Amino acid sequence: MTGSKSRCLNSISQVLLTLLILRCLQCHSRPHSYNSKPLSEISKEIFKYSDIAQRIINLAVYGKAQNRSYERLAEFTDTVGNRVSGSKNLDLAIKYMYNALTRDGLENVHLEQVKIPHWVRGEESAVMLLPRNHTLAILGLGSSVGTPPGGIEAEVMVVESFEELKKRASEAKGKIVVYNQPFVSYGETVAYRASGASEAAKVGAVASLIRSVTPFSINSPHTGWQWYQPGVPQIPTACITVEDAQMMARMARRGQRIVMRLTMGAQTLPDVDSYNNVAEITGSKHPEQVVLLSGHLDSWDVGQGAMDDGGGVAISWEALSLIRDLGLRPKRTLRTVLWSAEEPGGVGAAQYFQQHKANISNFDLVMESDLGTFSPLGLQFTGSDKARAIMKEVMKLLAPINVTSLEEHGEGTDINMWMKAGVPGASLHTADQRYFWFHHSDGDTMSVQNPEELNLCSAVWAVVAYVVADLEEMLPR
């Protein structure tokens, strides 16, 4: 009886000990707290940052840091150039940024390894043979297969929509399908770039050419990634200019027969090792909790990648520099991540999420700039109603530069998975009417960037990141 009682007490003790350990582990992994104070108290707390916000703005826009982000970006893009996923230039860019962030005196500068796609464009050309001789400007689309060595010579079929393609499916076999879809919006029209090849292959086409996804063109093709659908034959695909797509549509309406020779040396090589660049300002009170700022380091293999997404990279670096220069250290860690391989579909960011999602409760806010660094208008935000109310108060601190708007729906390929998992997310919204003029084209160069606009974007990025990271409590989920 005594032995049984002793074993029972031991079992109970073991259970209690186990529960205590689990409780301790939960407490250790749980964030300090999500914001539970009344909004009126939080508003007063945020208002106290007015002086600090003004100091950041003064330094970025009027002070010693004026034009610094522009000069850094210009030196980077002029030195490295474009940097497509898997390329030697992207490797050079990663090393360049690692050294630059280290020299800048930021903390915990390091690289986190990822595997990324390696697609190579190769030599490519498109020549109209009938009804007249004409050489087209083309850019193969990412992940496209190449043509046979001698190219493809075939008649052209012009359509303006997927619906028209389906209606005329019996005409498509053995032809090169040319999409002359009108530009409605990037979000809607990009479906032709992403899926045009597979839709054409389903009806027997031998190749597809997609009118560039842009509202404005000076005979400039715009590239981008495309995805082959499983179980569908893979055919070569490239983008052509708006002008050539419209010309061939006019020819087709006149009943003229169009014949073209397409040659593409594109190929997909094995995935390669790459890295996400990381730099921080370590939090003073809750270093395990993180406000993340980001842009993507890779670009397309045309232009300089100065706008997409050199600008996002520059302000995500500059925000930390501004805060460091002012001797500020927020309660939580500010972490800048420069993503690898965003253009093939957020590959580097997806792996980062898998590597860090165990600590998801410690991510306070994720921020991404990937729609240009033109004159800032505000932020787009995804989060709970209370988090939105708090962010509106934070944005009031930017009244001196008239950037107070907080809009719906934070955007960004690299932060979407965090937002879907419940982490508040913000993206920079700028006067981006010209963004898709230059997007994924040879026009994406430093000439698109404006130093004054980069100063303002840097100030917005730094003020928001610092204040959120320094509040007593995390943003509510």
Tell whether 214 is covered by a domain: yes
Whether residue 28 is predicted with pLDDT greater than 70 in this model: the reply is: no
Residue 206: partners with Cβ closer than 8 Å, 6 or more residues away: 152, 154, 174, 175, 176, 235
Of 215, 230, 265, the one marking the end of a domain is: 265
What single string gives the DSSP state of each residue in 140-175? EPBTPPPPPTT-EEEEEEEESSHHHHHHTGGG-TTS
Domain extent for 449: 39-119+270-470
4 belongs to a structural domain: no
pLDDT of 12 over the 80 cut: no
Examine the pLDDT at 206 and tell me if it is beyond 50: yes
In a domain, residue 126? The reply is: yes
* The domain boundary residue, chosen from 265, 294, 322: 265
Confidence band of 228 (pLDDT split at 50, 70, 90):
very high
Distances (CA, A) of 185 to 191, 192, 238, 436, 469: 10, 12, 20, 10, 35
| % of the chain beyond a pLDDT of 70 | 93
pLDDT at 187 exceeding the cut of 80 = yes
Tell me the average pLDDT of the chain: 94
Sheet holding 207-211, edge to edge: 134-136, 124-130, 259-264, 152-159, 176-179, 207-211, 237-240, 138-140
My answer on whether 130 and 115 are in the same domain is no
| pLDDT grade for 13, boundaries at 50, 70 and 90 | very low
Q: Is residue 351 domain-shared with residue 363, that is, in the same domain?
A: yes
Q: Could you confirm whether 342 is annotated as catalytic? A: yes
What is the predicted pLDDT for the residue at 276? 98
- Of 265, 297, 330, the residue that ends a domain is 265
Residues in Cβ contact with 34 at an 8 Å cutoff, skipping those fewer than 6 apart: 473, 474, 475, 476, 477
260 lies in the same domain as 274: no
* 127-138 pLDDT per residue, tens: 999 999 999 999
Which position has the higher pLDDT, 260 or 6?
260
Say whether both 298 and 440 belong to one domain.
yes
Angle subtended by helix axes 311-325 and 451-470, to nearest 10: 60
Pairing of strands 286-296, 332-339: parallel
The encoded tokens of residue 301 equal 């293999």
- 2 class by beta-carbon count within 10 Å (0-12 exposed, 13-18 middle, 19+ buried): exposed
285 has a pLDDT exceeding 50: yes
| Catalytic residue, candidates 318, 342, 343, 453 | 342
Which domain CATH number covers 433? 3.40.630.10
Does 90 lie in the same domain as 218?
no
| Residue 424, helix vs strand vs coil | coil
Residues 157 and 218 in one domain: yes
**22 in any annotated domain:** no
Q: What is the mean pLDDT of residues 151-166?
A: 98
- The pLDDT value recorded for residue 36 is 83
CATH number at residue 131: 3.50.30.30
The pLDDT of residue 35 is 78
Rg of the chain on CA atoms, in Å: 26
- Per-residue pLDDT tens over the stretch 244-267: 999 999 999 999 999 999 999 999
Query: Within a domain: residue 11?
Result: no
**Which tens digits make up the pLDDT trace of 360-381?**
999 999 999 999 999 999 999 9
- How many domains in the chain? 2
Residues 257 and 288 in one domain: no
One domain, residues 368 and 418: yes
| Average pLDDT score over residue span 453-474 | 98
In-domain check, residue 223: yes
Within 13 Å, how many C-alpha atoms sit on residue 250's CB side?
6
What does the pLDDT read at residue 81? 98
Q: At what angle do helices 451-470 and 50-57 cross, to 10 degrees?
A: 150
**For 400-414, what is the mean pLDDT?**
97
Is the domain of 115 the same as that of 126?
A: no
pLDDT in the model for residue 21:
39
- Structural contact between residues 223 and 239, judged by C-beta atoms closer than 8 angstroms: yes
Asked if residue 20 is part of any domain, the answer here is no
Q: What is the pLDDT of residue 9?
A: 34
Q: Are 147 and 123 in contact (CB under 8 A)?
A: no
The DSSP bridge pattern shows strands 124-130 and 138-140 to be: unpaired
> 208 and 300 in one domain?
no
**β 259-264/124-130 pair status:** antiparallel
Residue 308 shares a structural domain with residue 423: yes
| Cα(436)–Cα(458) distance, integer angstroms | 22
Higher pLDDT, 22 or 327: 327
Contact (Cβ atoms closer than 8 angstroms) between residue 316 and residue 268: no
218 and 276 share a domain?
no
pLDDT of amino acid 3: 40
Whether the per-residue pLDDT at 107 is higher than 60: the answer is: yes
User: In the sheet that 405-408 helps form, which strands lie side by side, from edge to edge?
Assistant: 107-120, 267-281, 332-339, 286-296, 363-368, 425-430, 376-382, 405-408
Q: What is the pLDDT of residue 10?
A: 41
Place of tokens 């090169």: 176
Is the pLDDT at 14 greater than 90, yes or no?
Answer: no
pTM of this structure: 0.92
Q: For residue 28, tell me if it sits in a domain.
A: no
What average pLDDT score do residues 434-456 get?
A: 98
